[in-house]
Structure 1
Amino acid sequence: MKLGGVLFFPVTPFGADGGVAAGALAEHIRRGLTHGPGGVFVACGTGEFSALSIAEHDVAVRTAVTAVAGRAPVIAGAGGPLGAAVRQAAQAAEAGAGGLLLMPPYLAQGPYAGLRSYVRAVTEAAAGLPVILYQRGGVVLDPAQAVDLARIPGVAGLKDGTGDIDRMARIVLAVRRELGPDFTFFNGLPTAELTAPAYRAIGVDLYSSAMFAFAPEVAAAFRTALDTGDGTRVQQLTEGFYAPFAELRATTPGYAVSLVKAAVRLNGIDVGPVRPPLAEPSPPHLAELTRIIEAGRALI
Structure 2
Amino acid sequence: MPSSDSRTPAGPDTQERPGARQFARAAREAGADGLLLLPPYLVRTPAAGLVAYVEAVSAATDLPLIVYRRDNARFGPASAAAVARMPQVTGFKDGIGDLDLLSRVVAAVRGALDGEPFQFFNGLPTAETTVPAYRGIGVELYSSAVFCFVPEISLAFHAAVRDGNDGLVDALLTRFFHPLVALRERVPGYAVALIKAAVRRRGLDVGGVRPPLVDPTPEHLDELDRITEAGLAVCAEAGAPR
Q: TM-score scaled to structure 2, two decimals?
A: 0.87
Is the counterpart of residue 138 in structure 1 residue 83 in structure 2?
no
The C-alpha deviation readout for 1:3-23, integer Å capped at 9, x for no partner, is xxxxxxxxxxxxxxxxxxxxx
- Please give the alpha-carbon distance, in whole angstroms, between the structure 2 residues aligned to 1:220 and 1:129: 29
Q: Are the counterparts in 1 of residues 121 and 140 from structure 2 also a CA contact under 8 Å?
A: yes
- Please give the alpha-carbon distance, in whole angstroms, between the structure 2 residues aligned to 1:104 and 1:268: 33
Is the counterpart of residue 257 in structure 1 residue 192 in structure 2?
yes
Is the counterpart of residue 233 in structure 1 residue 164 in structure 2?
no
- Please give the alpha-carbon distance, in whole angstroms, between the structure 2 residues aligned to 1:290 and 1:245: 10
Kindly report the root-mean-square deviation, in angstroms, between the aligned alpha carbons of the 2 structures.
1.2
- Please give the alpha-carbon distance, in whole angstroms, between the structure 1 residues aligned to 2:75 and 2:48: 12
Give the aligned partner of residue 156 of structure 2. Answer: 221
Give the aligned partner of residue 49 of structure 1. Answer: none
Give the aligned partner of residue 117 of structure 1. Answer: 52
Is the counterpart of residue 104 in structure 1 residue 39 in structure 2?
yes
Give the aligned partner of residue 225 of structure 2. Answer: 290
Q: Are the counterparts in 1 of residues 48 and 79 from structure 2 also a CA contact under 8 Å?
A: no
Is the counterpart of residue 280 in structure 1 residue 203 in structure 2?
no
Q: What fraction of aligned residue pairs are identical, expressed as a percent?
A: 55
Is the counterpart of residue 158 in structure 1 residue 158 in structure 2?
no
- Please give the alpha-carbon distance, in whole angstroms, between the structure 1 residues aligned to 2:88 and 2:163: 33
Residue identity in the other structure for 2:107: L
Q: Which aligned segments of 4 or more residues in structure 1 are displaced greater than 3 angstroms?
A: none
- Please give the alpha-carbon distance, in whole angstroms, between the structure 2 residues aligned to 1:124 and 1:217: 40
- Please give the alpha-carbon distance, in whole angstroms, between the structure 2 residues aligned to 1:296 and 1:184: 29
Residue identity in the other structure for 2:217: S
> Once the 2 structures are TM-superposed, how far is the Cα of residue 155 of structure 1 from its aligned partner?
1.0
Give the aligned partner of residue 193 of structure 1. Answer: 128
Task: From 153, 176, 179, give the equivalent of 2:110.
Answer: 176
> Once the 2 structures are TM-superposed, how far is the Cα of residue 84 of structure 1 from its aligned partner?
2.6
Task: From 9, 19, 25, give the equivalent of 1:90.
Answer: 25
Residue identity in the other structure for 1:85: A
- Please give the alpha-carbon distance, in whole angstroms, between the structure 1 residues aligned to 2:217 and 2:203: 19
The C-alpha deviation readout for 1:198-224, integer Å capped at 9, x for no partner, is 100110000110111101111000000
> Once the 2 structures are TM-superposed, how far is the Cα of residue 174 of structure 1 from its aligned partner?
1.2
- Please give the alpha-carbon distance, in whole angstroms, between the structure 1 residues aligned to 2:180 and 2:62: 38
> Once the 2 structures are TM-superposed, how far is the Cα of residue 156 of structure 1 from its aligned partner?
1.0
Residue identity in the other structure for 1:267: R
Is the counterpart of residue 128 in structure 1 residue 93 in structure 2?
no
Give the aligned partner of residue 12 of structure 2. Answer: none
Q: TM-score scaled to structure 1, two decimals?
A: 0.71
Unaligned runs of 5+ in 1: 1-81
- Please give the alpha-carbon distance, in whole angstroms, between the structure 2 residues aligned to 1:265 and 1:87: 33
Residue identity in the other structure for 1:146: A
> Once the 2 structures are TM-superposed, how far is the Cα of residue 247 of structure 1 from its aligned partner?
0.3
- Please give the alpha-carbon distance, in whole angstroms, between the structure 1 residues aligned to 2:54 and 2:99: 24
> Once the 2 structures are TM-superposed, how far is the Cα of residue 83 of structure 1 from its aligned partner?
3.0
Q: Which has the larger radius of gyration?
A: 2
- Please give the alpha-carbon distance, in whole angstroms, between the structure 1 residues aligned to 2:196 and 2:22: 27
- Please give the alpha-carbon distance, in whole angstroms, between the structure 1 residues aligned to 2:58 and 2:227: 40
> Once the 2 structures are TM-superposed, how far is the Cα of residue 181 of structure 1 from its aligned partner?
4.5
> Once the 2 structures are TM-superposed, how far is the Cα of residue 93 of structure 1 from its aligned partner?
1.2
How many pairs align?
218
- Please give the alpha-carbon distance, in whole angstroms, between the structure 1 residues aligned to 2:45 and 2:21: 18
Structure 1 range deviating more: 246-255 or 147-156: 147-156
State the structure with bigger RCO (CA 8 A, min sep 6), 1 or 2. 1
Unaligned runs of 5+ in 2: 1-16, 236-242
- Please give the alpha-carbon distance, in whole angstroms, between the structure 2 residues aligned to 1:168 and 1:114: 20
> Once the 2 structures are TM-superposed, how far is the Cα of residue 110 of structure 1 from its aligned partner?
2.3
- Please give the alpha-carbon distance, in whole angstroms, between the structure 1 residues aligned to 2:136 and 2:45: 33
